[in-house]
């Protein structure tokens, strides 16, 4: 073991775990996808898996410290995860030339990260419970929104004003003379009603969007 890399292990490990969590997709029992970092962090990793992580990292640092020593340890940890999982970026994509290529090749023996296996059944049960709570909350919000829309639909003051406003906006050939005769109102009065309807409709929209 090359003890010169010891001060860098913590940053490398944190970068590695962070990248593995946000880049790994998992699925709830209902089939909905999520990224691991939506529900888990470093503190949720099972102790035996943490030992495996540290073992792999120390081994990688032992064998590649000459190339790693000048790199940012946190970024190198990110790239250890991303390169292993064959993402669109990694050691090879940082402008480090032969160093980046050698480190990318050095990742191959370690295989995929398998971050979804880092957590206990209890941790996954907690995530499932949190997901169900989120779904219930989302359903409640949707139900309340539907109730508000229904109330607006049933409000004659809103819908009649809306109808008049939309008629005026879309009917270019509205027979104002026939309407005047039918209502017993002057055309100017009917135009005023349409204007008032438009103002009432705009006001109701402002209140709803408030």
* Domain finish residue from 94, 119, 144: 119
Report the alpha-carbon distance of residue 194 to residue 181 in Å, rounded: 16
- Say yes or no: 107 and 7 in one domain: yes
pLDDT at position 82, please? 96
Least confident of 37-46, 120-129, 151-160: 151-160
Whole-number Å distance between alpha carbons of 133 and 141: 12
Q: Retrieve residue 5's tokens.
A: 């890399």
- Of 93, 119, 145, the last residue of a domain is 119
How many structural domains comprise the chain? Answer: 2
Q: Report the helix count and the strand count for the chain, using DSSP H and E.
A: 8, 2
What is the pLDDT, as a whole number, of residue 40?
93
Considering the domain architecture, whether residues 204 and 146 belong to the same structural domain is answered as yes
Question: Does position 3 have pLDDT exceeding 80, yes or no?
Answer: no
Same domain, 97 and 176: no
pLDDT tens across 136-171, in order? Answer: 887 788 888 878 777 766 776 777 777 677 777 777
Q: Please tell me whether residues 113 and 128 are part of one structural domain.
A: no
Do 82 and 25 belong together in one domain?
yes
CA angle 138, 41, 106 (to 5 degrees): 130
More confident residue, 192 or 9: 9
Distance CA 163, CA 176 (A): 16
More confident call, 49 vs 132: 49
Q: Are residues 34 and 113 in the same domain?
A: yes
| Nearest of 50, 40, 44, 55 to residue 110 by alpha carbon | 55
205 sits in which H/E element: helix 187-209
Question: How confident is the prediction for the chain on average, in pLDDT?
Answer: 87
Listed residues 119, 147, 176: the one ending a domain: 119
User: Which residues span the domain enclosing 46?
Assistant: 3-119
Q: Are residues 106 and 143 in the same domain?
A: no
Q: State the pLDDT at residue 2.
A: 54
Same domain? 85 vs 141? no
Q: In terms of domains, do 88 and 132 share one? A: no
pLDDT at position 100 is: 95
User: What pTM does this model have?
Assistant: 0.65
Cα–Cα distance, 6 to 54 (Å, whole number): 12
User: 63-113 pLDDT, tens per residue?
Assistant: 999 999 889 999 999 999 999 999 989 999 999 999 999 999 999 999 999
Are 82 and 176 found together in one domain?
A: no
Q: What is the DSSP string of 44-85?
A: GB-HHHHHHHHHHHHHHHHHHHHHHTTS-HHHHHHHHHHHHT
Identify the pLDDT of residue 210: 56
Q: What is the pLDDT of residue 208?
A: 67
């Amino acid at each position: 073991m090359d003890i010169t890399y010891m001060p860098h292990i913590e940053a490398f490990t944190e970068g590695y775990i962070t990248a593995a969590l946000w880049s790994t997709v998992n699925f709830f029992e209902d089939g909905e996808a999520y990224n691991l970092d939506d529900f888990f962090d470093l503190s949720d990793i099972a102790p035996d898996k943490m030992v495996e992580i540290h073992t792999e990292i120390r081994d990688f640092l032992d064998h590649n410290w000459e190339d790693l020593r000048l790199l940012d340890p946190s970024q190198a940890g990110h790239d250890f995860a991303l390169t292993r999982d064959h993402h669109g970026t990694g050691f090879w994509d940082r402008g480090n030339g032969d160093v980046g290529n050698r480190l990318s090749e050095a990742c191959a023996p370690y295989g995929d990260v398998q971050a979804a296996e880092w957590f206990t059944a209890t941790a996954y049960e907690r995530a499932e419970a949190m997901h169900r709570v989120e779904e219930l909350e989302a359903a409640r919000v949707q139900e309340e929104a539907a109730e508000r829309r229904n109330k607006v639909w049933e409000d004659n003051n809103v819908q009649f004003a809306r109808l008049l406003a939309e008629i005026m906006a879309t009917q270019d050939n509205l027979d104002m003379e026939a309407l005047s005769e039918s209502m017993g109102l002057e055309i100017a009065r009917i135009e005023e009603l349409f204007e008032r309807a438009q103002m009432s409709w705009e006001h109701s929209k402002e209140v709803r969007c408030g």
